[in-house]
Amino acid sequence: MTIADLSRRTLLQAGAALLASTALPTFARAQNAPSGGRLIVAADSEPKNLNPAIVASNGVFFVASKVVEPLAEASFEGKDGLSPRLATSWEGSADGKSVTFKLREGVKWHDGKPFTSADVAFSALSIWKPLQNLGRLVFANLEAVDTPDETTAVFRFSKPTPLQLIRNALPVVSSVVPKHVYEGTDIGANPANVKLVGTGPFKFTEYKPGEYYRLTRNEDYWAEGEPKLDEVIFRVLPDRAGAGAALEAEEIQLAAFSAVPLTDLDRISKVPGIKVISKGYEALTYQLVVEINHRRKELADLKVRQAIAHAIDRKFVVDTIFLGYAAASTGPVPKNAPEFYDADVPTYDFDIAKANALLDEAGYKKGANGTRFSLKLRPAPYFNETKQFGDYLRQALAAVGIDAQLVNADSAAHQKAVYTDHDFDLAVAPPVFRGDPAISTTILVKSGTPAGVPFSNQGGYANKELDDIIAKAAETVDTAARTDLYRQFQKLVAADLPLINVAEWGFITVARDTVLNVSNNPRWAVSNWADTALQS
């Protein structure tokens, strides 16, 4: 079936839906959004494995979250910042060794079989814990999942596991996949990893490599009146410059994850019929970080690291590189995580004189050619902004007499050089804050991670005090005490600078005005879009 065929059919359906909706009396606001229509979205990557239970990453969630649902989704208003999905409630025991989930009743898989607690138990023990990139950390001590009845799942842990961590991680780690499809098969090679089977508002219908993913409405979805859309098409547009033009030409109606480059936003926001939205990424905050190789004797000196922190003009970075769509960082936890964020940490103003003085104090005087020492700087290639920040950092360091030589590489070569071979002095990285320090920012500073683990501390930094705080927080069940430990963690990182946090940013969504209910939760782009609608 070609796109042209589809559009004719959908047009008729949309027309019918319009007639129907005008004929009916008014409902509550959410229900009032028109039904039907096909939403075409720009996608910039085609993950090899699309199973969100195995690969918990945004590239996978972007498509898969519409098909496979988590136990709970992030929410602006909900209790604990969550809104229920497949679980309706969750409760931890006082000793932190068990969590009881009540599951939603009457939910069916896309192949018609009923969803039960057995699916949750299977997903948790056979996929999240052993196979998933993040589940390995969160469920490290998961021993068993009891299923006293079809709608109750009790997670039992061998060591205390904080409920706060599980809550914060739920939207990301808890994608439930059907036991009857995966049991007894090679899970990593199961065909359902590409042709997904889930409980979500959309069914996975078609995938044409290099062209598009097609998801169609799940008629049996558990939430009444949802989904609104008949179809969601993810059109593969790897060229970032192409997304803006496609929006203007109405070939696509939505481009998330900053598919439209920041530099183009000012212009495109003035195009009639197009809106630019920076909301909806609060739980997906990226942090711009300078990773430091502490094996270099100059960089092992705290004064040098402080000097580098003082040499970076965060305002310039935010205003010029991110064009204002970012915030300056103070420490390893972003402001978008108010539960943990602590502003009361040592800060480093942009002050070249101070940076020069610190470097002189450290004993690295300027040589005859004006340079003190030379460093190898590797900017991560994933974002335009990280590459530009690399260019900027080279100039910022030159201003204080440090000669930074840029080394560019593709993603694979960059990861190998930094995280396996340690062939860097400074590196620019964009780690993502995943809602809880235990599964994100602490990994970048704690010691003992073997070489080869990407996006971890590979700079040879080891600080016993910091390691102890991180280890203690990992098993502190009391929410207040745990939060307090992470405040100490932030102070210590900001003071000792195992790495330098420069800025934090979310993505930008650009959509046609006809797309309704956009960005209404903190993980909107990777949530299920059940209430997203199209105005015809």
Partner 1 sequence: MRLIRNLIRTPEGAIGLGILALLVLIALLAPALSPGDPLKIAARPLLPPFTDVNFPLGTDRLGRDVLAGIIHGTRTSLAVGIAAALAAIAIGLCVGLAAGFAGGLVDEALMRVVDAFQIVPSFLLALAFVSVIGASVPVVVLAIALGAWADPARLTRAQVLSIRERDYIASARVIGMHPVEIAFKEILPNALPPVLALSAIIVAAAILTEAALSFLGLGDPNVVTWGSMIAEGRNILRSSPSLSIFPGIALVVTVVGVYLFSEGLTNALAGRRSEA
DSSP state at residue 59:
H
131 vs 407 by CB, closer to partner 1: 407
Please identify, using beta-carbon distances, which residue of 91 and 239 lies nearer to partner 1.
239
Contacts of 9 (CB under 8 A, 6+ apart): none
Sorted by sequence, the CB contacts under 8 Å of residue 139 that are 6+ apart come out as 124, 128, 129, 155, 173
498 binds partner 1 (CB under 8 A): no
Task: Pick the binder of partner 1 from 154, 327, 398, 516 (CB under 8 A).
Answer: 398
Report yes or no: 419 and 455 within 8 Å, Cβ to Cβ. yes
The CA-CA-CA angle for residues 519, 339, 95, to 5°, reads 120
Q: Does 263 bind partner 1 (CB under 8 A)?
A: yes
Q: How far is the CB of 507 from partner 1 (least distance, A)?
A: 16
Q: Rounded to an integer, what distance in angstroms lies between the CA atom of residue 188 and that of residue 55?
A: 10
Please select the residue that binds partner 1; options are 388, 447, 449, 479, rule is CB under 8 A.
388
Is 374 a binding residue for partner 1 by CB under 8 A? The answer is no
Comparing CB distances to partner 1, the nearer of 55 and 265 is 265
Find the binder of partner 1 among 214, 228, 394, 434 (CB under 8 A): 394
**Interface residue with partner 1, options 91, 146, 220, 266 (CB under 8 A):** 266
User: Which residues neighbour 493 within 8 Å (Cβ) at sequence distance 6 or greater?
Assistant: 331, 332, 345, 445, 466, 499, 501
Q: How far is the CB of 366 from partner 1 (least distance, A)?
A: 16
Beta strands in 257-313 (DSSP E): 274-277, 286-292
Cα(218)–Cα(200) distance, rounded to whole angstroms?
A: 7
Shortest distance, CB of residue 220 to partner 1, whole angstroms?
44
Q: Is 238 in the site for partner 1 (CB under 8 A)?
A: no
Nearer to partner 1, 108 or 387 (CB): 387
Contacts of 481 by beta carbon, 8 Å cutoff, 6+ apart: none
Q: Residue 310, interface with partner 1 (CB under 8 A)?
A: no
The stretch near partner 1 (CB under 8 A) out of 166-174, 279-287, 345-353, 381-389 is 381-389
Examine residue 241 and tell whether it contacts partner 1 (CB under 8 A). yes
Judged by CB, which is closer to partner 1: 44, or 231?
A: 44
371 binds partner 1 (CB under 8 A): no
Whole-angstrom Cα Rg for the chain: 24
Residue among 125 and 409 whose Cβ is closer to partner 1: 409
Query: Looking at 185-193, 295-303, 349-357, 389-397, which segment touches partner 1 (CB under 8 A)?
Result: 389-397
Which two tokens mark 386? 């990280």
Name residue, tokens 């192949």: 111
Candidates 253, 220, 238; CA nearest to 10 is 253
In sequence order, what are the residues at sequence separation of 6 or more whose Cβ sits closer than 8 angstroms to the Cβ of residue 320? 392
352 binds partner 1 (CB under 8 A): no
CA-nearest of 308, 316, 275, 330 to 535 is: 275
By CB under 8 A, which span of 208-216, 219-227, 394-402, 446-454 interacts with partner 1?
394-402
Choose which of 92, 244, 401, 430 interacts with partner 1 (CB under 8 A).
244
Cβ burial, residue 405 (10 Å; 0-12/13-18/19+) = exposed
Q: How far is the CB of 291 from partner 1 (least distance, A)?
A: 18
Which residues between 312 and 341 bind partner 1 (CB under 8 A)?
320-321
Q: With CB under 8 A, what is the number of residues at the site for partner 1?
A: 27
C-beta of 132 vs 356, nearer to partner 1: 356
Phi, psi of 117, rounded to the nearest 5 degrees:
-65, -25
C-alpha 89/C-alpha 197 separation (Å) is 24
392 lies in the binding site for partner 1 (CB under 8 A): yes
Scanning 17-25, 113-121, 257-265, 360-368 for contacts with partner 1 by CB under 8 A, the matching segment is 257-265
- Rule CB under 8 A: which of 401-460 touch partner 1? 405-410, 413
CA distance 338 to 473: 17
Q: Residue 14 burial (CB < 10 Å; 0-12/13-18/19+)?
A: buried
Three-state secondary-structure class, residue 293: coil
DSSP 296-308: STTTTSHHHHHHH
9 binds partner 1 (CB under 8 A): no
Q: Which residue's CB is nearer to partner 1, number 11 or number 241?
A: 241
235 binds partner 1 (CB under 8 A): no
Choose which of 59, 225, 242, 261 interacts with partner 1 (CB under 8 A): 261
| Binder of partner 1 out of 374, 395, 411, 535 (CB under 8 A) | 395
Tokens representing 123 are: 């997903």
The token pair that represents 148 in the structure block: 């006293």
Distance CA 179, CA 47 (A): 23
Minimum distance between the CB of residue 342 and partner 1, rounded to whole angstroms? 32
Task: Please give the residue ranges that form the binding site for partner 1 (CB under 8 A).
Answer: 240-241, 244, 261, 263-264, 266-267, 320-321, 381, 384, 387-388, 390-392, 394-395, 398, 405-410, 413
